[in-house]
Amino acid sequence: MKSGRHREAGMVDWTHERYAAAAVTQIERMAGTVEGADFTTQVPTCPGWDLRQLVTHTGGVHRWAALMVGELAAERFDRAALEAGFAGLADEEFPGWLREGAGLLDEALTAHPGDAPMWAWGGDRHVRFWSRRQLHETVVHHADAALALGVTPDIPEDVAVDGVEEFLDILPYARWRPEVRELTGDGETISWRTGSGAAWLITLGPEGFAYERSAARASATLHADTAAELLLLIWRRGELERQRMDGETKLLRWWADHSMI
C-alpha cells in the first residue's frame, strides 16, 4: 500500500522536537484528567477495559518506547513483559506514574536526533516515528479516559490535523489486521472534510491507497465539524452513522470496517 504526506503553506511545522514536547504535554494532561478518578470505571471506547487497564497500558507504552528509543533498538522489545511489572500500583499512584513516564520518554526522545535510525513498526524507521506515534497514542487514550469519566475530549486542532495524517501514514503497516490489506480499489475516492477547513482526499488503487490534502470532489464524502472529531471517528471513538455522509455511503462504511486498527 502507498500513502503520501503533504504540507500546506501556513500549516504547523511538526519537527521531532515539537512532537516530543507535545507528547509530554498530552501525557501531563491525561494525568490531570485521571487525578482522583475511580479506576474501576469502565472505558466504553476500549471494551473490556477499566480505567486502571487503560492507564497501565498507556503508561507502559510510554516506557516501552522510551526504552527502545534510548537504546536505538534494532528490533522490537517485548512490551507485554514490561507491562506485567506495573500490576501492583495503587490508584493514587497512577497520575504521578504517568508523569514519570513522560519524563522518561522525553529524556529518551530528546537524546537523539529525529533522523537516527532504529526499529519502528511503521514505514519511517527513525526516532521521529516514536515522537509522533507517542503523541497520538496519548491523544487517543486521553480521549478514552475523558469519555469514560464524562468529560468532552479537548484535542487541539493542529494536533488533530497531524493525527489524521499519522493514521493514514501508519495504516498500511498495521499488518496484524488482515483487512487493511484489502484497502484497494480501481480509482474510487473518499473525501474527509471538516468545518475547520482541513480536508483530505483518499484514492484507492490496485496496490493500496494514497492521500493528499485536498477538498476535491470524491465518490463519497464524510463531514466532521473539526479535525479533532474526525480523528476520534477514524480511531473508532465516535459513531460514523451520526455524521453527515454524501455520495457512496457504502464505500465509507467499507473503509471504516477495513481500516480499524
* 85-104 tens-digit pLDDT: 787 889 999 999 999 999 99
The residues, any chain, with a CB within 8 Å of residue 103's CB and separated by 6 or more, are 24
CB-based contact 30:141 (threshold 8 Å): yes
Residue 11 has a pLDDT of 66
CA distance 56 to 4: 33
Is 220 within 8 Å of 190 (Cβ atoms)? yes
Q: Which parts of the chain have pLDDT scores under 50?
A: 1-10
The answer to pTM > 0.85 is: yes
pLDDT of residue 9: 37
| H/E element, 203 | strand 199-205
Buried b (16+ CB within 10 A) or exposed e, 155-194: bbbebbbbbbbbbbbbbbbbeeeeebeebebeebbbbbbb
Is residue 213 within 8 Å of 199, Cβ to Cβ?
yes
For residue 78, the model assigns a pLDDT of: 93
**What pLDDT is recorded for position 85?**
78
Q: Which residues contact 144 (CB under 8 A, 6 or more apart)?
A: 43, 45, 46, 54, 237
pLDDT of residue 202: 98
Q: Would you state the pLDDT for residue 231?
A: 98
The DSSP symbol for 181 reads G
Q: How far apart are CA 61 and CA 237, in angstroms?
A: 20
What's the grid cell of residue 60?
507502559
- Return the SS3 of 120: coil
Q: Cα–chain-centroid distance for residue 94? A: 22
Query: b vs e for 77-100, b when ≥16 Cβ sit within 10 Å of the residue's Cβ?
Result: eebeeebeebeebeeeebbebbbb
Residue 89: phi, psi to the nearest 5?
A: -70, 140
